Amino acid sequence: MMSDQTILVTGAAGFIGFHIARQLLAEGRHVTGLDSLNNYYDPALKRARLNILREDSRFGFIQADLADRPSTRELFAEHRFATVIHLAAQAGVRHSIDHPYAYVDANLEGFFNVLEGCRRNECRHLVYASSSSVYGANTKLPFSVADKTDWPVSLYAATKKANELMAHSYSHLYRLPVTGLRFFTIYGPWGRPDMAIFLFAKAIIEGKPIKLFNNGNMRRDFTYIDDVIRVVLRLIERVPADDGGAGNAPARIYNVGNHRPEQLMHVVALLEKELGRAAVKEMLPMQAGDVAETFADVDDLMRDVGFRPQTSIEDGIAGFVAWYRDHYKV
């Protein structure tokens, strides 16, 4: 990839998009960031991330909704991005139960428009976000990309599975190189306020109860954002070869996880330690659309790009809490 070629990062004001864009800029790349800046969570946090990116002269920002077909078509035709990192999506398992249309618009319509933009304008590599939620009701652990993912337990998961199928079909039909990333519970500085670690930290500081579903008996493959950045930047450069493999399409899917599930109660204890106060715990039953455990098999990442997660949960929680205290002045 030529360093002077502009890379499109969708969802650039989001958690992962912000970190990826910032690292690309640090490496001297030119980045166009796109985001709708919707109010799914506090837009002030998105704007704060964006302000950091805007400090770099190589960064340009476009506020747009990818579900808007004419404007998305125009954007891709004008810029002809060689590399697209598509992270914009309507996130959240629980939110999808109450607001299903948002997921159809962003995750299906929006993703389709990105695929069309890429295939019509000679994109050399589309890297897109999927999710560990595609594993749904699977009980075999760790989750492997070779496992069947035909039993989603939320609409969010179903849209992410659909993204993988849509990307594969475009890769097969138009020889568009695509790489899907099944992210496993990413956390760290500038994280999403609807994610457990952020919610817990805020509640503990405010002395409010934290909700522990399945009576706290949950395990998650918590993955620190710095490890995610490292692997995504390597994968951007690893364009799938059009060699007749993987169902006769230049398409790959990887798990991006820590390869080590952590007990939720251990994570709560680490937050209590870092924040210097006890959590008020509200034990609740399992809720619709959720799963008890996630665990990523990352052998193929290790094989293909030498990926090794390097951040322990102890160091990761410490890093997140330090950022939280600084950003919110608490």
Q: Residue 176 in contact with residue 238, Cβ under 8 Å?
A: no
What angle (nearest 5°) sits at the alpha carbon of residue 94, between those of residues 156 and 103? 35
* Residues identified as active-site: 156
**Sign of the four-CA dihedral 128, 129, 133, 138:** positive
Distances (CA, A) of 311 to 79, 226, 258, 320: 37, 8, 8, 12
Q: Is 229 helix (H, G, I), strand (E, B) or coil?
A: helix
Q: Is the peptide bond before 142 cis (omega within 30 degrees of 0)?
A: yes
Cβ count near 108 (within 10 Å): 17
Q: Is 60 helix (H, G, I), strand (E, B) or coil?
A: strand
